[in-house]
């Protein structure tokens, strides 16, 4: 499965705090930067914000897939967050978001970027998976759920 190639249990936060869309994107950018030191957290945050200006990555049903390209990124890198409390994310259905899967890809990684986003969108389309993700209690459980065969 393509998703397990971009995420690890260490790149998952369970019941994270985020007061706003901006704060959540900052948290994600800083967390990715800690995991992948070649990626600057402030630059990554700015890239996420620029991408959001093109159109929301809030898919609906409490899901968001913030994503961007980065010159500093050597391989596709995912980071998942389940928020303790949903935040307003300007999602297409106007509902708050509590599950986010961020994706950073190398600048030249066009088709791979789209393939990963498609795989994620398909996974998050399952109401059973969403319920399981929302009731999981550890990053390891979230990892197992998001990477499990369909």
What residues does each domain of the chain span?
3-147
Active site residues: 67
**What is the per-residue pLDDT for 113?**
79
Question: What's the 3-state SS for 87-122?
Answer: ECCCCCCCCCEEEEEEEEEECCCHHHHHHHHHHHHH
CB atoms within 10 A of CB 68: 23
Kindly give the pairing relationship between strand 12-16 and strand 77-87: parallel
The CA distance from 113 to 81, in Å, is 19
Q: What is the pLDDT of residues 46-101, one digit of tens each?
A: 999 999 999 999 999 999 999 999 999 999 999 999 999 999 999 999 999 999 99
Indicate the CATH number of 3-147 among 3.40.930.10, 3.10.690.10, 3.40.50.1370, 3.20.20.70: 3.40.930.10
């Amino acid at each position: 499965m393509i998703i397990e190639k971009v995420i690890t249990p260490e790149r998952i936060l369970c019941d994270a705090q985020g007061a706003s869309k901006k704060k959540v994107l900052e948290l994600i950018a800083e967390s990715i930067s800690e995991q992948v030191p070649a990626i600057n957290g402030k630059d990554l945050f700015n890239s996420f914000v620029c991408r959001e200006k093109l159109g929301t990555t809030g898919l609906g049903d409490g899901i968001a897939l913030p994503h961007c390209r980065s010159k500093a990124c050597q391989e596709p890198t995912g980071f998942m967050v389940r928020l303790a409390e949903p935040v307003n994310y300007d999602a297409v259905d106007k509902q708050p978001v509590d599950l986010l899967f961020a994706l950073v890809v190398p600048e030249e990684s066009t088709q791979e970027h789209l393939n990963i986003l498609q795989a994620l969108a398909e996974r998050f389309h399952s109401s059973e998976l969403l319920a399981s993700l929302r009731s999981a209690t550890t990053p390891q459980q979230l990892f197992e759920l998001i990477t499990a065969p369909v």
